[in-house]
Structures are given as C-alpha cells and as structure tokens.
Structure 1
C-alpha cells in the first residue's frame, strides 16, 4: 500500500528579520515570527507525518503541500525525522502577493521525477495595465515514475473566498485550464492525480464539473464527495465545516490491473493535532488565531488516499 497526501501547512515562512521600526510590515505578515516559533512549526509539521507513519506503517510516497514560502523551508523540513533527507523537493517560486507557494515532496527511493513545471496565471486588473496584472499561486505540475507507472500530478491552491467571493472567476478560469490539460492526458491513457486546497467543497459546481469531459463522460473520481456528505471536514470557517482539501483521481486508479488501485480516502485528524479548547473540539490546532500565537500545527488537517493492489 502507498499513501498520497496533501497538506495545507498554514504559513510556513522563514523567521522574519528584525524590523527597523516596530510598525514596519514583516515578510511573513505574522506577528513576532521568530526563530523559536519557526523551529516549533517545522517540528509540528514533521510530527504530523511521523503520526501518519505510525498509524499506517509507512510515510506517504508523494506529499502535496500548500502555503510554503520558498524552498529553504522545505529543505529544513526534509532534514527532520521522519524524512531524514530521504525525500526530494519539487518547488517553484510563484508570483503570489503573499509569497506562498505549492510544492511536492517525494520518496526518492520510490519515485523518479520525469518533468515538472509551474503553471502561472495572470489576471487583468481594472487598470488593464500589464505591469499591474493580478497574479495568484501557481499550479504545480509534475510527471513522475513509480515502478512502471507514469503519474501526472497537479497540485493547486486556488484563490480564496473573500469579499463576497470576488475570486470565483479566477478559480473557474484556473480549473478550466487544468481540466483542459487533464483531458489531454486522460485521452492518452495517462494516470492523473489532482490535489489541493480548492477553496471550494466537493459538491460545489466547479468541482463537480471538472469530473466530466465535454461529452459528460466521467473522467475523474472525487472520493472526498462521500466524506463531505457525511460531515467530515478538513478546515473550518467560523461555525462552518469545510472540505476544501481534496484529492481527485483519474478513472485508471479504479481499475484492478493498476498497481496503484484506489483503496480508500481519509482526513487525518488525530487528537494530537486537534484543538485543545473544548469550544473548538474536533478542529485543527492552528499556529495563529488572527494575530494571537497558539503554537499549533495548521488550520487544516491533511488529507490522503491509499493506493495499492486490489
């Protein structure tokens, strides 16, 4: 059995340098983000994967990440247990205004990277000035080889819901482009995995539409639809439970002759990484609540799918 996981790690930034003035903005946008808090954050994220290993007997062979800032934080992470420098990194700096990116970690003993690219998106602003185009986080696309299987992996962190969901057209545009690429791959009988923080739930129109081709034939499966329908969530907004973190797979993973046939999907939410406040029981134990430092793991739980021979 192999695990494929995705985790929004909530603002994994290097420590901020000391500002010249107290009111100067910081690189991270966080309050008092120093070396001690950074090292605690790294330990907490690594500990999540140690817990995954203890529960499943193995680490995920592929890990999609979001809200990481730069490659250095990833290099610091994979030096820690349980990775012990056995994992490689696929990462590109994006043009995101908050300087957060998506990335992929992979077990170097199991996975070979064939190719990768950052799919960048530009959006025209009101001034229609190319120098002031809006940008967002890239979608990371990687082609990898596992034994004899070629797998195409897309990792996304779509624009957030804010200000009456002003970013919805951007999410639609990005998903349409991803869908176009996925259809080309599926038409060539390729394995495809699309994962990420979509800032939409599995039953939202955009994420239902991407499951089908132009002839309304189903080409992707989203096992997180069932989890969401039964009240399972990876993050929360005020009182609302959300399942923005999902992993979608091509139909090829549901064939018995695939050595990585789909087994099950889940949200990893043991008590150790959950909120300790009884008023927020069952929610992720986050690093910050607004500007208040809590010292937790992330405001999202990781999600995963198990793959193996039927």
Structure 2
C-alpha cells in the first residue's frame, strides 16, 4: 500500500525581516511573522504528517503542497521528523503576486525524478498597468516508482475573490492541463492531478476535465463522492468546501496496475481541528484575519490510498519438502 497526499499549508513563509519603517510592507503579508511563529508553523506542518504516519503506518510517498514561499521553507521542513531529510524536493519559483508556489516532496527511497518543469500562465492585465498578469505555476513531474512511470501535476488555481473575476483563468488553465493529460493517457501513461482548485468536485470545470473529446471518461475524481456526502477540506463563512482534490487516470482503477486506487480521505484529525464553539471541527488555522492563532492551516490535507500489486514471484513457495 502507498499514500499520495496534497496539502494547502496556508502561507508558509520565511520570517519577515524587520521593516525599516512602520509602513514598510512585509513579504508575507502576515502580522508580526517572526522566527518563533515560523518555527512553530514548520513544527505544526511536520506534526500533521507524523499523525498521518501514525494513523496509516506510513508516510505518503509523494506529497503535493501549495502556498509555500521559496525552496528554503521546504528544506527546513524536510529536516524535521517524520521526514528526517529522507524526502527530496521539486520546486520552482513562480511569478505569483503573493510569492507563493506549489511544490512536491517525495520519498527518495521509493521515487526517482525523471523530469520536471513549471508550467507558467500569463494573462492580460485588467488594470493595464503592466503588460501581463501572472498566477501560480502548475508543477509537472515525471516520476518513477519501481518500474512504474507516473506523470504528476500539482496545481493551485486562482481564487474566487472579487466576485470570481478569476474564473476565466481557471477555465483556461484547466483546459491547457487537460490537453496534456489526455495526450499522456492516449499514450497509455499514468496520470495524477492534485491541488487546490478553488472549485468543488461537482463544479462544471472539474466535471468536464474528467472526459476526453471522443474517448469517454479518461479520469476519475474520488472526491466527488466525499463532497456529495458532506465532507469538506476547508470552509468559507458557513459554507463547507472541498477545493482540495486528487484526480487519477483510469489506469489506477485497473486491478493489474502496479498501484491501484483503494480509497480517498480528508485527513480531519482532531489534533489539527479547531475546538472553538463557533468553528469546531474546522481546520485550526494559523491566522484568523490579523489574529494569530498558532494553528496548522486553513485547509485539511487530503490523500488517496493506492494498493500495490504483489510480484507474482513473491507468491511462489520455493521451499522443498
């Protein structure tokens, strides 16, 4: 069995340098983001994965992350337990306005990186102050797990703020990624797309991406069922949302695949959940507005469980009577 996870870790920034003036803007945009709060944040994120390990008996062999700012925060994170410097990093700096990126961690004992790239997107700037406007890159990595090659896409799509002005951008990005994914599946490649899509599994864009032009359904989204039964990874006021999802190519649903889908889960452990009367059961976040809570993230992590096909030779009894 193997786990593959995705986690929006909510503004994992290095400590802000001391401003030269009270009005100087900070890099993080967070109030009083200092060394103590940064180290607490790292320990909190590492603790989430320790809890996943305790519950499942293992760590995910691949971890998709979003809202990380720069490679240094990832280097600091993988030094901590339970990673213990045994996880590698795939990361590219994007041109996002908030300076947050997506990234991938991987178990170096199980996974080999064959190739990787940042897929960047540029849009016309509505304010016409600059020639273009950027958003977070989509990370693409080709990995090898034993003899199996897997194409992994990790995304954090533009948000729904300002009356969802970013919806056309999300549509464009998903269409472009779908083209790549379909090309790969038509070549009988294995594909996984995970991320914070800023849309729920039943939204039109995320339903559409599951289908090829003429080949019918090409991908499965196991988080559709979770959402339909009232399971959420994050919240906006009173609304429960499942923006964090993992989509897999149909090949992962075949029994003869080396890794085959077994289940999907939103990791809502009580230790990473708020106990406040108003927000009980929701993620215990780092900040609520400008108020520091010292929690983990405003999202719960999600993961899929993949069953591993045993080598036929392992089942042969070679002992002699």
* TM-score of the superposed pair, with normalisation by structure 1: 0.98
In structure 1, the residue matched to 2:152 is 153
Which position in structure 2 is the counterpart of 1:287? 286
* Aligned residue in 2 for 1:278: 277
Aligned partners of 1:102 and 1:140 also within 8 Å: yes
| Residue 169 of structure 2 is aligned to residue 170 of structure 1 | yes
Structure 1 position 216, deviation (Å):
5.8
How far apart in 2 are the matches of 1:31 and 1:56? Answer: 36
Q: How many residues align?
A: 309
Query: Any residues of structure 2 matched to 1:164-243 within 5 Å, and which?
Result: 164-215=163-214, 217-243=216-242
Q: Secondary structure at the match of 2:17?
A: coil
Which protein shows a greater Rg?
Answer: 2
1:108-147, aligned counterparts within 5 Å?
Answer: 108-126=108-126, 131-147=130-146
**Aligned-pair distance for 1:125?**
1.8
Q: Distance in 1 between matches of 2:126 and 2:217?
A: 37
Secondary structure of the 1:164 match is helix
Counterparts of 1:269 and 1:23 in 2: how far apart (Å)? 39
Q: Deviations over 1:143-200 (max 9, x none)?
A: 0000010000000000000111000000000000000000000000000000000000
Instruction: State the secondary structure of the residue aligned to 2:5.
Output: strand
Task: Supply the distance in 1 between the matched residues of 2:13 and 2:200 (Cα, whole angstroms).
Answer: 27
Label 1:128 to 1:291 Cα distance change in 2 as closer, same or farther (>3 A): closer
Does structure 1 residue 91 correspond to structure 2 residue 98?
no
Deviation >3 Å, runs of 4+: 126-129
Take 1:301 and 1:207, find their aligned partners in 2: how far apart are those partners? 20
Displacement of 1:132: 3.0
Paired residues of 1:256 and 1:309 also in contact (CA < 8 A): no
- Please say if residues 78 and 84 of structure 2, whose CA atoms lie closer than 8 Å, have aligned partners that are also in contact: yes
Partners of 1:98 and 1:198 in 2: CA distance: 17
C-alpha RMSD of the superposition: 1.0
Unaligned 5+ residue runs, structure 2? 310-321
Residue in 1 that maps onto 2:67: 67
Aligned equivalents of 2:253, 2:44: Cα separation in 1: 34
Whether 2:240 is the aligned partner of 1:252: answer: no
- Uncovered stretches (5+) of structure 1, i.e. residues with no partner: none
How many Å apart are 1:309 and its aligned residue? 3.3
Aligned equivalent of 1:302: 301
Q: What residue is the counterpart of 2:13 in the other structure?
A: 13
Give the 3-state SS of the residue equivalent to 1:84 in structure 2. coil
Q: Is the 8 A contact 2:210 2:217 kept in 1?
A: yes
Distance in 2 separating the partners of 1:96 and 1:56: 35
